[in-house]
Chain A
């Protein structure tokens, strides 16, 4: 399966701490993306990192990609209670015309105030 696998499945931290989530996959990719989902809502795109990139930043988010290990990590710095949500990695592989994404099972993050 090309599906991304995320670790940990659940994470609980205090406000102000950093949160790190990991994603592993099994195939060559075009890019890897991270999405966020608040409970009962649709997903929101956070960041995209291409296969030839190693690190990317967006505000309090830092994403790394190691294609040799087929893994990526998402770091949220100085977490806030509002960051409480599920986070999913999604990989784009194969033909880019379809835009198909394969999603992981997600990491549920709880940030305690």
Chain B
């Protein structure tokens, strides 16, 4: 069966510090991968998606970047965090050849102080 992991679960970082959030998927190959951000009490905003290794599409210009160094690894990064980067970050995957159903990880709660 497939599983998706995210770490860390919780992170508190000062403004101006770097960020690295990691997402890995097990039990499948060549998945589509997605990074979302969710503000408190709000819906999900798609940040980046990837349909293959090294391929990244950005949905919203901002202080963040994403990379996919391996087939089942998706990393969200920032060189200098802003207060507005605080939120709940969710990674998701879907089987590239099948329906649009996405499977979500447990999320990372990021607080920038």
Interface residues of A (CB under 8 A from B): 3, 30-31, 33, 35, 40-45, 48, 88, 92, 96-106, 108
Contacts of A3 in B (CB 8 A): 43
Cβ of B100 and Cβ of A99 under 8 Å apart?
yes
Least CB distance, A36 to chain B, in whole angstroms: 11
Query: If the complex has contacts A98-B57, A106-B42, are A33 and B101 also in contact, measured as CB distance less than 8 A?
Result: yes
**Cα distance A103–B100 in the bound complex, in angstroms:** 13
Q: How far is the CA of A101 from the CA of B49 in the complex (A)?
A: 11
B28-49, CB under 8 A of A: which get 1 and which 0? 0000101010000111101001
Give the distance in Å from the alpha carbon of A3 to the alpha carbon of B46 in the complex.
11
Q: Are B109 and A40 touching (Cβ within 8 A)?
A: yes
Residues of B contacting A44 in the complex (Cβ-Cβ under 8 angstroms):
104
Q: Which residues of A contact B32 (CB under 8 A)?
A: 98-99
Partner of A98, one of B44, B49, B88: B49
Q: Is the CB of B105 within 8 A of A42?
A: yes
Known: A40-B107, A99-B32, A105-B42. A45 touches B101 (CB 8 A): yes
Closest chain B CB from A33 CB (angstroms): 7
State the 9 A-B residue pairs at the shortest beta-carbon distance, nearest first: A42-B104, A103-B44, A105-B43, A92-B100, A43-B104, A103-B43, A99-B32, A99-B94, A99-B100
State whether B101 touches A48 (Cβ < 8 A).
yes
Cβ contact within 8 Å between A99 and B96: yes
Residues of A within 8 A of B105 (CB): 42
Determine if A42 and B101 form an interchain contact, defined as CB atoms under 8 angstroms apart.
Answer: no
**CA of A48 to CA of B101, assembled, Å:** 8
Specify which chain B residues have a CB less than 8 angstroms from the CB of A43 in the assembled complex: 44, 90, 92, 102, 104
* A residues near B92, Cβ cutoff 8 Å: 42-43
Known pairs A33-B100, A92-B100; list 10 more (Cβ under 8 Å). Answer: A40-B88, A40-B109, A41-B106, A42-B90, A42-B105, A96-B100, A99-B49, A103-B43, A105-B42, A106-B42
B43 touches A104 (CB 8 A): yes
Query: Are the C-beta atoms of B109 and A98 separated by less than 8 Å?
Result: no
